[in-house]
């Protein structure tokens, strides 16, 4: 289940928006300050940050930038009463999924959130694969690349100057560490991180 984080210093707006989102079936978590959100929220999960642009201390731009630097998998949708076209274009270039003006009705908000959740799911999935790949030893990475190119065990053994049995052992470890149930799944996972 994806979580929707609301970050806005206007408590009345946050409460009204939270009520609307909860009535639509979303799990909602409200925040009033960017620094608190960045310190306490799980930035590496499937979810969306509905972010106001104008806030004291850390504004929406600064929060978004901090999330980018931390490689957050949360998708960002700006929801602001103080936006303009150049601001929207700039944030979209930086990876925001959408830029909505307050007040926003339920239909466009829900459409933006559903699109953002799909993007967040893909980012989270890719990050999991990257984590698995990082667990591979340099030899296992080399072998994984050769497997992905379609080489047979004998060809891999010749290319890496190791025994066929060693290739089989490394290959089994690669499959396990990459959480791949088949060769096709392994190749797909390796392609997603290149």
The class that CATH gives domain 3-123 is: alpha beta
Q: What is the pLDDT of residue 166?
A: 95
Residue spans per domain, the chain: 3-123, 135-192
| 180, two tokens | 């791949």
pLDDT per position as a tens digit, 44-98: 999 999 999 888 888 899 999 999 999 999 999 998 877 666 776 777 788 899 9
Same fold for the pair 3-123 and 135-192: no
Closest residue by Cα to residue 24 from 111, 119, 98: 111
Q: What is the pLDDT of residue 88?
A: 66
How much is the pTM? 0.83
Asked whether the predicted pLDDT for residue 12 surpasses 90, the reply is no
| 131 band by pLDDT with thresholds 50, 70 and 90 | very high
| Buried residues in 117-133 as b, exposed as e (16+ CB within 10 A) | bebbeebbeeeebeebb
Write down how long the chain is. Answer: 194
Q: Measured in Å, how far apart are the chain's first and last C-alpha atoms?
A: 28
Instruction: Measure Cα distances from 77 to 46, 120, 155 in Å.
Output: 14, 11, 49
Residue with token string 């978590």: 29
Q: What is the pLDDT of residue 73?
A: 97
pLDDT per position as a tens digit, 101-125: 888 888 999 999 999 999 999 999 9
Residue with token string 């990876």: 95
Q: Give the residue-averaged pLDDT of 37-43.
A: 97
Share of the chain above pLDDT 70, in %: 97
What does the mean pLDDT of the chain come to?
Answer: 92
The class that CATH gives domain 135-192 is: mainly alpha
Asked whether the predicted pLDDT for residue 43 surpasses 70, the reply is yes
């Amino acid at each position: 289940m994806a979580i929707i984080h609301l970050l806005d210093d206007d408590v009345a707006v946050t409460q009204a928006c939270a009520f609307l989102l909860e009535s639509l079936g979303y799990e909602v978590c409200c925040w009033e300050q960017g620094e608190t959100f960045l310190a306490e929220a799980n930035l590496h999960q499937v979810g969306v940050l509905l972010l106001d642009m104008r806030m004291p201390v850390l504004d929406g731009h600064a929060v978004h930038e901090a999330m980018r630097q931390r490689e957050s998998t949360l998708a960002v949708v700006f929801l602001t009463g103080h936006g303009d076209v150049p601001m929207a274009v700039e944030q979209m270039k930086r990876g925001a999924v959408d830029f909505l003006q307050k007040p926003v009705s339920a239909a466009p908000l829900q459409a933006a959130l559903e699109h953002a959740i799909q993007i967040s799911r893909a980012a989270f999935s890719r990050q999991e694969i990257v984590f698995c790949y990082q667990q591979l030893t340099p030899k296992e990475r080399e072998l994984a690349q050769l497997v992905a190119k379609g080489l047979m065990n004998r060809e891999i053994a010749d290319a890496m100057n190791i025994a066929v049995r060693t290739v089989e052992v490394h290959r089994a470890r690669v499959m396990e560490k990459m959480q791949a149930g088949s060769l096709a799944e392994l190749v797909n996972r390796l392609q997603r991180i290149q």
